[in-house]
């Protein structure tokens, strides 16, 4: 591709790639120089040019010497759309999921349902890039736009026709998921999270809504979990844009949940659709897992899936890594679950999912991440104190904060909780404490394979540790 195809000019230079990190620039690269929260890419323009950048996308007034300057009031968006032109083509069908909780489970369930229907499908998000036979970890809910677009283009070359991806609030604000034609966009729910970045709930919601106001194709479909308090905002936006609407949940009109009966290892669902009542056994426990499954079904239906078959296929869904994953059975007979819940709402949902299955006590081990919204810590403590029978407060990913300070903030809301800073010791005590009728929930880290302490990531896997002590 010649540079002129991206600028609209007559530049003959051949574009070889895109980069937003000056250390990844090679001859022929288009460099994106943006102001970030911690790093200002504009300061590295000269370094990028010395490394061979032939063009720099940046905002007006920023000097660019030795390369073509591509100037835009919104340089992130301009860069993303240029990169999409370079990396295309992409899979035929792309859908995106946003919301505070449930994104990872929903995109993975969507991939599974597509696969059951015969499509070559993949999902992209917190768990990495997942296909029928391969997973590549990216380490971010929404990777940078260059990684994202190159991954999606690579999937298309491998024969993937359908891709579902997570659209985080950070990713939407920073234009990390631009360039694809998004056929359907889903909203799961909204609760407090990432306020250290967005500032307040209004800004956080606005970031999420950008998926529906700008990213979703004008001819696309909005899939909405109608039972969330913020669902009306998404529905109103979709209707104002003229998008097709698929609503799911107890208040949904496309897939209406009219019954949910917990079973030992799952739940029976009664779903009204197209004038009929469909009954299916979902092999996952918890109300929020039913919500994720229905949103995933809505996405599949929105992209041409048969309604009756999609609902029936819910019975074959597999658990998602670190999302109410049953990690082990203790020698006492108590099951041990691991969940990614790291917000008050998610912790409450995980506890509510397990509570009906506990003949005895529900024991919860949890903490809160450092260098993240401190305002949620006491609330998480309150949730655990009110909903769990025994709460053990431990360390999550303290990062650069003092772990004891984080635990103290949680304990303000959980005055009856035990405090065991060492996460391994906390998990060991919870499992040793559990009787045959009890359930243990280890919350906060889910699928993560490390614990971030200071500037180091130490190997740590809740599932592996749980299995070690359960044995």
Does residue 74 have a known ligand-binding role?
A: no
- Note whether 446 and 462 are within 8 A (CB): yes
* Alpha-carbon gap, residue 462 to 336, rounded angstroms: 10
Does residue 292 have a known ligand-binding role?
A: no
- Which of the 8 DSSP states describes residue 22? G
Does residue 356 have a known ligand-binding role?
A: no
Does residue 399 have a known ligand-binding role?
A: yes
CB atoms within 10 A of CB 99: 28
Does residue 176 have a known ligand-binding role?
A: yes
Does residue 422 have a known ligand-binding role?
A: no
Does residue 316 have a known ligand-binding role?
A: no
- Note whether 155 and 128 are within 8 A (CB): no
- Note whether 294 and 248 are within 8 A (CB): yes
319: Cβ contacts below 8 Å, ≥ 6 apart = 283, 284, 325, 326
Does residue 398 have a known ligand-binding role?
A: yes
Does residue 169 have a known ligand-binding role?
A: no
Does residue 100 have a known ligand-binding role?
A: yes
Does residue 168 have a known ligand-binding role?
A: yes
Expressed in percent and rounded to 5, the helix, strand and coil fractions of the chain are: 35, 25, 40
Does residue 104 have a known ligand-binding role?
A: yes
- Note whether 339 and 446 are within 8 A (CB): yes
* Alpha-carbon gap, residue 449 to 447, rounded angstroms: 6
Does residue 61 have a known ligand-binding role?
A: no
* Alpha-carbon gap, residue 375 to 196, rounded angstroms: 9
276-282/267-273 β-pairing: antiparallel
* Alpha-carbon gap, residue 246 to 257, rounded angstroms: 13
- Which of the 8 DSSP states describes residue 322? T
- Note whether 396 and 342 are within 8 A (CB): yes
Residue stretches of the annotated binding site: 99-105, 141-142, 168, 174, 176, 372, 396-399, 444, 448
Residue stretches of the annotated binding site for ATP: 99-105
Residue stretches of the annotated binding site for meso-2,6-diaminopimelate: 372, 396-399, 444, 448
């Amino acid at each position: 591709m010649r540079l002129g195809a991206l600028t609209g000019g007559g530049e003959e230079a051949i574009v070889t790639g895109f980069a937003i990190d000056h250390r990844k620039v090679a001859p022929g690269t288009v460099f994106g120089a943006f102001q970030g929260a911690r790093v200002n890419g504009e300061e590295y323009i000269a370094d990028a040019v010395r490394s061979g950048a032939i063009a720099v996308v940046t905002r007006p007034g920023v000097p660019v010497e030795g390369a073509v300057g591509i100037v835009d009031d919104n340089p992130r968006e301009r860069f993303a759309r240029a990169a999409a032109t370079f990396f295309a083509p992409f899979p035929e069908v792309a859908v995106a999921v946003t919301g505070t909780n449930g994104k990872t489970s929903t995109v993975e369930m969507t991939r599974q349902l597509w696969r059951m229907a015969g499509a070559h499908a993949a999902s992209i998000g917190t768990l990495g890039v997942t296909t029928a036979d391969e997973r590549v970890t990216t380490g971010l809910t929404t990777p940078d736009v260059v990684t994202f677009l190159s991954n999606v283009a690579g999937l298309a070359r491998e024969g993937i026709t359908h891709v579902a991806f997570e659209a985080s609030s950070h990713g939407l604000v920073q234009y990390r998921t631009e360039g694809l034609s998004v056929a359907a966009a889903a909203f799961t729910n909204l609760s407090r999270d990432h306020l250290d970045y967005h500032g307040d709930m209004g800004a956080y919601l606005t970031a999420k809504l950008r998926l529906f106001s700008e990213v979703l194709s004008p001819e696309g479909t909005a899939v909405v979990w109608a039972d969330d308090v913020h669902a009306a905002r998404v529905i109103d936006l979709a209707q104002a844009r003229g998008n097709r609407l698929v609503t799911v949940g107890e208040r949904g009109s496309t897939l209406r949940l009219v019954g949910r009966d917990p079973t030992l290892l799952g739940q029976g669902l009664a779903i009204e659709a197209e004038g009929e009542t469909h009954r299916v056994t979902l092999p996952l426990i918890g109300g929020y897992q039913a919500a994720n499954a229905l949103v995933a079904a809505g996405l599949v239906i929105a992209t041409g899936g048969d309604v009756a078959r999609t609902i029936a296929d819910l019975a074959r869904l597999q658990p998602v890594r670190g999302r109410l994953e049953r990690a082990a059975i203790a020698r006492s007979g108590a099951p041990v679950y691991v969940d990614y819940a790291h917000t008050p709402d998610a912790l409450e949902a995980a506890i509510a999912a397990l509570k009906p299955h506990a003949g005895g006590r529900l024991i919860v081990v949890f903490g809160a991440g450092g260098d993240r919204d401190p305002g949620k810590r006491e609330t998480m403590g309150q949730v655990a104190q009110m909903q769990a029978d025994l709460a053990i407060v431990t360390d999550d990913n303290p990062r650069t904060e003092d772990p004891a300070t984080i635990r103290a903030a949680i304990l303000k809301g959980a005055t009856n909780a035990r405090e065991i800073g060492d996460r391994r010791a906390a998990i060991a005590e919870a499992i040793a404490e559990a009787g045959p009728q009890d359930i243990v929930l280890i919350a906060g880290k889910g699928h993560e394979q490390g614990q971030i302490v200071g500037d180091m990531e130490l190997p740590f896997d809740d599932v592996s540790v749980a299995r070690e002590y359960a044995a």
